[in-house]
């Protein structure tokens, strides 16, 4: 028969909680209980806050990515090969899966932008303004008063006195700033490949007018994009009616890989393939995953250090309380009862650490999410930070920490078994 669990509970309660009431034992309790609890709670606090802020950051990046890009692109298997315009193909692809919400053709290629003495490399993207409304969610990033439809129009440029009408483009805000231009200004698209036509090796020059800009706020990736209509782009690149590919919008972007596989079965024989957004951004996604992994590792180390402090404190407790442990043995405690006493201390210290860490983390995340905090906010964005609390992650961190805390108590639990009762009694007698 093991010692009654009630007796163990009684001891635990006294050692961990009510010993605080006694002035003479308070400092021992502080070292034995408070410090390891704080150790664990700091780890849990840091873990939840950092992962949640990073989670918010990543989700934000992904949602911007998914708004500014197609979820899936269908392109020729042969890299860069043009696909002749083919309305039937669009319908055919859309009929493959009910997951596909919209489909639109696009063209894309490198371009040099020139304005006065300034120049820049950029990516020229041609879209079908009407159809692209369905596949891209660019609208909320566009400068006020314009829609993609403006790309169908020709407008006069403000910085040129000749009242010619120019094809319109939408550029990213970064690019506009780089070239020192404003909405309404004109600029020249210059091809990167020399024109091998009759005129010799001169590059194609193509004046256009900036009808608006795209700004993605804090997340300015793909900073150098010029968007124009499919027709204009084809004209610039001197293609007949053709596409580089099709852009697809799907119901659940996170399923893009799966749907792409399904599409590929049918597309492959046609010399086409589906490219999910995860593939197009694999480098970025890999970096984000790696960063998250690295952060988790560092945070785990903090929790581990906290758990080490549990080991240390409990091992010291064995030294400090060896006389009491021997008395308990003389009163009928088994070795395993002493072990239990220490495992429970590890568990309870870990548990308290997790609860306190989560509470502090919750408060911190609430503040980060709702208030502008100097230092954190300014270096990153002017608004409060986005926060994403992943409940599974929190549960995992909590149980993991408690598990580690118990693991930290295993060593003391084994050590206390080896307590030599006779030796302790002889030394003091």
Residues lying near other proteins in the complex (CB under 8 A) are found at: 1-4, 6-7, 10, 14-15, 18-19, 22, 24-25, 323-324, 327-337, 421-422, 425-426, 428-429
CB 272 within 8 A of CB 77: yes
CA separation for the pair 100, 103 (Å, rounded):
8
* Residues contacting residue 38 through CB under 8 Å, at least 6 positions apart: 306, 353, 356
CB 106 within 8 A of CB 83: no
Query: Of the two residues 143 and 335, which places its CB atom closer to other proteins in the complex?
Result: 335
Q: What is the helix (H) or strand (E) element at residue 119, kind and residue range?
A: strand 118-127
Query: Of the two residues 14 and 118, which places its CB atom closer to other proteins in the complex?
Result: 14
Q: Report residue 319 as tokens.
A: 């030294």
| Closest approach of other proteins to the CB of residue 422, in Å | 5
Query: Of the two residues 226 and 326, which places its CB atom closer to other proteins in the complex?
Result: 326
Q: Which residue has the tokens 């003091």?
A: 428
Query: Of the two residues 4 and 177, which places its CB atom closer to other proteins in the complex?
Result: 4
- Give CA torsion, residues 123, 128, 129, 135, to 10 deg: -90
Which candidate, 136, 135, 169, places its Cα nearest to that of 150? 169
CB 209 within 8 A of CB 167: yes
| Closest approach of other proteins to the CB of residue 318, in Å | 15
Q: Report residue 339 as tokens.
A: 């072990």
**Can you list the positions of beta strands (E) in 132-244?**
154-156, 165-172, 186-191, 205-214, 225-229, 242-243
| Closest approach of other proteins to the CB of residue 14, in Å | 4
Query: Of the two residues 146 and 327, which places its CB atom closer to other proteins in the complex?
Result: 327
Residue 405 Rama label (left phi>0; alpha psi -120 to 50; beta): alpha
CA separation for the pair 215, 223 (Å, rounded):
9
Number of CB atoms found within 10 A of residue 102's CB: 17
Which candidate, 205, 273, 219, places its Cα nearest to that of 58? 219
Q: Which residue has the tokens 């996170």?
A: 254
| Closest approach of other proteins to the CB of residue 312, in Å | 21
Query: Of the two residues 91 and 330, which places its CB atom closer to other proteins in the complex?
Result: 330
| Closest approach of other proteins to the CB of residue 15, in Å | 7
CA separation for the pair 352, 361 (Å, rounded):
14
Determine the distance from the C-alpha atom of residue 254 to the mean position of all C-alpha atoms in its chain, rounded to a whole number. Answer: 14
| Closest approach of other proteins to the CB of residue 338, in Å | 10
Query: Of the two residues 89 and 338, which places its CB atom closer to other proteins in the complex?
Result: 338
CB 75 within 8 A of CB 93: no
Query: Of the two residues 78 and 324, which places its CB atom closer to other proteins in the complex?
Result: 324
Query: Of the two residues 46 and 343, which places its CB atom closer to other proteins in the complex?
Result: 343
| Closest approach of other proteins to the CB of residue 304, in Å | 30
CA separation for the pair 228, 233 (Å, rounded):
6
| Closest approach of other proteins to the CB of residue 327, in Å | 6
Query: Of the two residues 25 and 153, which places its CB atom closer to other proteins in the complex?
Result: 25
Query: Of the two residues 378 and 426, which places its CB atom closer to other proteins in the complex?
Result: 426
| Closest approach of other proteins to the CB of residue 413, in Å | 16
Residue 325 vs residues 2, 342, 346, 348: alpha-carbon distances, Å: 16, 11, 17, 19
**How much is the CA Rg of the chain, to the nearest whole Å?**
33
CB 142 within 8 A of CB 212: yes
| Closest approach of other proteins to the CB of residue 261, in Å | 60
């Amino acid at each position: 028969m093991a010692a009654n669990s009630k007796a163990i509970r009684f001891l635990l309660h006294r050692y961990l909680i009510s010993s605080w009431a006694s002035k003479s034992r308070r400092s021992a309790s502080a070292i034995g209980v408070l410090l390891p609890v704080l150790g664990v709670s700091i780890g849990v606090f840091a873990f939840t806050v950092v992962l949640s802020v990073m989670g918010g950051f990543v989700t934000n990046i992904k949602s911007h990515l998914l708004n500014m890009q197609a979820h899936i692109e269908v392109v020729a298997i042969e890299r860069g090969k043009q696909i002749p315009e083919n309305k039937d193909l669009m319908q055919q692809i859309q009929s493959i899966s009910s997951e596909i919400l919209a489909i639109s053709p696009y063209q894309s290629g490198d371009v040099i932008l020139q304005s006065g003495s300034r120049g820049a490399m950029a990516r020229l993207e041609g879209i079908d303004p009407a159809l692209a409304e369905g596949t891209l969610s660019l609208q909320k990033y566009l400068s006020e008063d314009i829609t993609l439809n403006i790309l169908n129009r020709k407008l006069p440029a403000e910085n040129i006195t000749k009242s010619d009408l120019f094809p319109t483009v939408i550029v990213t805000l970064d690019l506009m700033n780089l070239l020192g231009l404003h909405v309404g200004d004109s600029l020249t698209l210059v091809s990167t490949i020399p024109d091998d036509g009759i005129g010799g090796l001169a590059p194609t020059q193509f004046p256009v007018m900036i009808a608006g800009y795209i700004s993605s706020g804090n997340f300015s990736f793909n900073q150098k994009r010029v968007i124009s209509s499919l027709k204009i782009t084809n004209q610039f690149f001197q293609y007949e009616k053709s596409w580089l590919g099709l852009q697809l919008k799907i119901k659940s972007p996170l399923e893009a890989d799966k749907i792409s596989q399904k599409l590929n079965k049918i597309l492959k024989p046609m010399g086409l393939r589906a490219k999910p957004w995860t593939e197009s951004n694999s480098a970025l996604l890999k970096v984000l995953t790696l960063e998250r992994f690295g952060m988790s590792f560092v945070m785990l180390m903090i929790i581990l250090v906290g758990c080490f402090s549990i080991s240390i404190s409990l091992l010291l407790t064995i030294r400090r309380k060896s006389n009491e442990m021997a008395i308990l043995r003389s009163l009928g405690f088994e070795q395993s009862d002493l072990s239990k006493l220490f495992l429970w201390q590890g568990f309870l210290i870990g548990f308290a650490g997790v609860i306190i860490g989560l509470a502090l983390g919750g408060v911190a995340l609430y503040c980060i999410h709702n208030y502008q905090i100097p230092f954190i906010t300014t270096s990153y964005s002017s608004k409060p930070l986005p926060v994403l609390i992943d409940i599974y992650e929190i549960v995992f961190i909590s149980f993991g920490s408690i598990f580690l805390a118990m693991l930290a108590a295993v060593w003391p639990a084994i050590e206390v078994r080896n307590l030599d009762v006779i030796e302790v009694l002889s030394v003091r007698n």
